[in-house]
Amino acid sequence: MSNYGTLESRVRRKSLLSKVMKAEETVQFFKPGMNLGWSGFTPAGYPKAVPMALADHVEKNKLQGKMKFNLFIGASVGAETEDRWAALDMIDRRWPYQTGKNIAKGINEGRIRMGDKHLSLFAQDLGYGFYTENGRIDLAIIEVSAISEDCGLALTSACGVVPELMMVADRIIIEVNTGQPSFEGMHDIVMAQNPPNRQPFLISRADDRIGTPYVPCDPDKIIAIVESKHRDNGRAFSDMDETSEAIAGHILNFFSDEVKAGRLPENLLPLQSGVGSIANAVVGGLAKGPFYNLSVFTEVLQDTMLDLIDSGKLNAASSCSLSLSKDSGFPRFFDNWDKYADKIVLRPLSISNAPEPIRRLGVIAMNTPVEFDIYAHANSTLVGGTRMINGLGGSGDFLRNGYLKIMHSPSTRPSKNDPTGITCVVPKAPHIDHTEHDLDVLVTEQGLADLRGLAPKERAQVIIDKCAHPDYKPILQDYLDRAKKECLAKGIGHEPQLFDRCFKMQHNLAVNGTMKIKNWDIKIDLCE
């Protein structure tokens, strides 16, 4: 792998070079039960050499289940670190968002205690000391590009919760990544004060800088400097398909109509797009769309954001993370550094997801749920209401505070037993992360439901008409008609639900492998 400078050139505070050691030598600093904080946000900017060396130590010495730690990280990180730790039974607690088959399995089997949280709240609450008995983190592991003469940390491809970790960590291990170009100068860091001394984030444009390029660090807390050459194990994305292209098309048409109506300027407003293949496709659609001089204020920048820059339509992008793909996104970014880097500002999670600038800028929020119901309650986290996937992430930060709050999803998802698949539009969501009060627009490949100004029963009809798959539309319509008739007759019909039947489709899926039911009668078997 190419070298992008030496460790000595990256560590400009020369007294720290006396603390240089190999990753394997840091194992001595870890004790079971410790509270650990990592840098990183999605598979970007996270420590790799030290966590991998510790996993090797546990595996070699058969210490599975005997060396377990509590992990506090801004979001998910690479599978070669935390998911491997989960496979080795090295994780006791995990806050607030994760990705990986092994860690999800551990959570759902009850071996890993996970706490879910709005990401902006997690960042500030970590700084407040809410997550441990003494309010402290025993040890933080931080990946950096460089260390300045005054011990300022120049981070790499993500900011995460590093400022908060500097506030609460007792000791720090620094990984200096020389296996990729230095990101020095790309970050805008503010060390937020705790109340009552907290100050506003005076951001009025996506590219406004309000801080410094470095995270200040107490050099006396640093116990080791480790050189790393591991690149981010970025996420992979599916190619755009007919479904994602149709969803993107509906959203672009909606934007055009909003411009014509005078509710959006011609260059729209700053855009936020969540993680995942559909979100990636929507941004790709914008790269081909009619809008210019765009800006982005978001938490992750994915591969098609580079397409948007290439198109000449994006002026500036603010994010917490460069969440690019490993094999195409990151190499493309590094090979065209001068083209992309000056368009991007990377901010800590506490700023990228802060409600104040999101609302001030008028951010257009776009995120993908697991499912939503006919009254516009959305589930982003728990399949069937009980099985954790990844976590809430930052979607709620933007959907509660944005100018336009949009959720996009396929109308159905594939299943083993039903050729149509599982409906993503249901009578009642079995778990609710985003309420009807927070969502303006729901979109599937079938169409777009503009819910602004509609009462609950009106919303339900529009969602069924516009968003439901044709195979499920009559089933949902039958439910709504029955619910209205029974609830209105009793004088309880503002938002009609039949609680003895509203989860019948999910129950039928669990029992018979399909969400298609013959009728809503509760006196017969689910399927005949």
Q: Which residues are catalytic?
A: 299
Element (H, E) at 285: helix 277-288
Residue 317 near residue 307 (C-beta atoms within 8 A): no
Which residues make beta-bridge pairs with 148? none
Q: Which residues neighbour 277 within 8 Å (Cβ) at sequence distance 6 or greater?
A: 237, 238, 244
SS (H, E, C) 126-186: HHHCCCCCCCCEEEEEEEEEEECCCCEEEECCECCCHHHHHHHEEEEEEEEECCCCCCCCC
Q: Give the residue from 417, 427, 380 showing the smallest Cα distance to 510.
A: 417
**In terms of Cα–Cα distance, which of 248, 285, 291 is closest to 270?**
291
- What CA–CA distance (Å, rounded) separates 1 from 121? 38
Give the up-direction half-sphere exposure of residue 149: CA atoms within 13 A in the CB hemisphere.
0
Q: For residues 16 and 142, what is the distance between their CA atoms, to the nearest angstrom? A: 15
End-to-end CA separation in angstroms for the chain: 61
Residue 426 and residue 398 in contact, taking contact as beta carbons nearer than 8 Å? no
How far is the C-alpha of 456 from the C-alpha of 460, rounded, in Å?
A: 6
Query: How would you classify the pairing of strands 364-367 and 371-373?
Result: unpaired
Q: Count of H helices and E strands in the chain?
A: 17, 26
The two three-digit tokens of residue 158, written as one number: 């993500």
Cβ atoms of 180 and 4 closer than 8 Å = yes
Write out the H or E segment, with its range, that includes residue 413: strand 412-413
* Cβ atoms of 372 and 442 closer than 8 Å: yes
Backbone angles phi, psi at 247, to 5 degrees: -60, -45
User: What Å distances lie between residue 71 and 33, 75, 215, 334, 436, CA to CA?
Assistant: 10, 11, 21, 30, 33
